[in-house]
């Protein structure tokens, strides 16, 4: 299972932080990480000097850190949290600090782009080296219904193990495992009925699903398989539509590739999911590549 021992939570000192902190608290009680870094990055602005005569002095780092500590007070054991404030480029600083702190999970609020501050976390996730969790402003803080897209890979198995751990901490929870399969190209070249191909491909998917669960203790959690033929351009559309239609509490999906850098960068389907999903918490689980250097990440940022 992919370890999630060190977390970093990005606060922006708006009302969204209330949901973010409440959700992180619930997640902490289920997964028990070693430490949580709460971070706020103040963007540098080039204001005319004359404005200093018209406005109060900007808040110091100490003032902002004190505000952050007040927000999280009582929600976590004091020895498990640390608040940090930086000033600079938000996107670069997020990459740098998650790298330097060896972070396993980055947590941020998910805002629509027209409300501002929605682009930076999404851009971060596309080329981050750790797992990412995006929490909408109106998210329900519970894990009763976990939606898990799977492709029967080892990465999907890691996502299932995490889902089982979350579900075990919640009474009467269930996991919906969705597999979207494609019809073979030969289907379009024959006169055979489409339904016949669908039945054969679904049977194959069910066999793979049973093999996928072998050796995993699933007795304490109800797991419901969901097999669908791909009808949309992006599998992400199937994921989004089904998860929302079933009133899921969270979507957990694995991301990764074969090379070191491709394990950092999101694939097209995962990237599309980050762009599309606005109403449900979305956890992108990554196998962290320790051999990739910070310079590799910096030189790939556009």
User: Which of 50-59, 187-196, 278-287 tops mean pLDDT?
Assistant: 278-287
CATH number at residue 45: 3.40.50.12370
The confidence score (pLDDT) of residue 15 equals 85
**What confidence score (pLDDT) does residue 190 get?**
65
pLDDT at 295 over 70: no
Which residue in the block uniquely carries the two structure tokens 């992108």? 284
pLDDT confidence of residue 44: 64
Please state the domain count of the chain: 1
pLDDT in tens, 93-122: 888 899 899 999 999 988 765 554 556 667
Say which residue the tokens 């996730």 belong to. 125
Q: pLDDT tens digits for 263-275?
A: 434 566 777 787 7
Collect all residues with Cβ–Cβ distance below 8 Å to 55 and sequence separation of at least 6. none
Q: What's the pLDDT at 219?
A: 83
Residue 59: pLDDT band (50, 70, 90) is confident
Residue 52 lies in a domain: yes
Evaluate whether residue 272 is within a structural domain: yes
Q: How far is CA 134 from CA 36, 107, 125, in A?
A: 16, 6, 9
pLDDT in tens, 211-224: 999 999 888 899 99
Average pLDDT over residues 111-136: 72
Residue 65 — pLDDT band, cuts 50, 70, 90?
A: very high
The whole-number pLDDT of residue 1 equals 74
Cβ atoms of 148 and 250 within 8 Å: the answer is no
Question: pTM of the prediction?
Answer: 0.86
Q: What tens digit of pLDDT does each residue of 4-40 get? A: 999 999 998 888 899 999 999 999 999 999 999 999 9
pLDDT tens sequence across 233-248: 889 899 999 999 999 9
Across 126-135, 149-158, 231-240, 291-300, least confident range: 291-300
Structural domain that includes position 77: 6-300
For residue 246 the two structure tokens come to: 């079933």
pLDDT at 227 > cutoff 50? yes
Burial string for 90-126 (b: 16+ CB within 10 Å, else e) reads bbebbbbbbbebebbbbbbbbbeeeeebbebbbbbbb
Q: Is residue 229 part of a domain?
A: yes
- Does residue 1 belong to any structural domain of this protein? no
Q: Evaluate if residue 90 carries a pLDDT over 90.
A: no
Evaluate if residue 43 carries a pLDDT over 90. no
User: What pLDDT shows up at residue 104?
Assistant: 94
């Amino acid at each position: 299972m992919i370890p999630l021992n060190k977390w970093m939570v990005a606060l922006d000192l708006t009302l969204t932080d209330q949901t973010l902190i409440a959700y992180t608290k619930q997640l902490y009680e289920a997964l028990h990480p070693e430490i949580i870094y709460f971070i706020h990055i103040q963007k540098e602005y080039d204001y005319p000097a004359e404005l200093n005569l018209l406005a109060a002095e900007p808040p110091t780092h100490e003032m902002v850190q004190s505000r952050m500590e007040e927000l999280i007070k009582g929600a976590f054991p004091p020895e498990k949290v640390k608040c940090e404030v930086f000033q600079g480029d938000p996107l670069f600083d997020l990459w740098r600090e998650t790298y330097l702190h060896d972070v396993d999970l980055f947590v941020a609020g998910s805002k629509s782009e027209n409300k501002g501050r929605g682009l930076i976390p999404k851009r971060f996730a596309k080329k981050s080296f750790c797992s990412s969790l995006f929490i909408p402003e109106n998210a329900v803080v519970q894990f009763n219904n976990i939606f898990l897209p799977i492709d029967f890979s080892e990465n999907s198995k890691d996502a299932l193990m995490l889902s089982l751990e979350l579900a075990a901490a919640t009474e009467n929870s269930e996991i919906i495992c969705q597999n979207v399969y494609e019809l073979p190209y030969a289907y379009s070249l024959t006169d055979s009925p489409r339904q016949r191909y669908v039945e054969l491909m679904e049977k194959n998917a069910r066999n793979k699903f049973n093999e996928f669960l072998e050796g995993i203790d699933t007795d304490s959690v109800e797991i419901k398989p969901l097999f669908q033929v791909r009808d949309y351009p992006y599998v992400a559309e199937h994921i989004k539509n089904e998860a929302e239609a079933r009133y899921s509490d969270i979507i957990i999906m694995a991301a990764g590739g074969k090379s070191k850098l491709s394990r950092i960068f999101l694939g097209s389907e995962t990237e599309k999911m980050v762009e599309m999903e606005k109403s449900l918490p979305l956890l992108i689980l990554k196998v962290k590549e320790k051999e990739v250097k910070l310079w590799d990440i910096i030189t790939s940022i556009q």
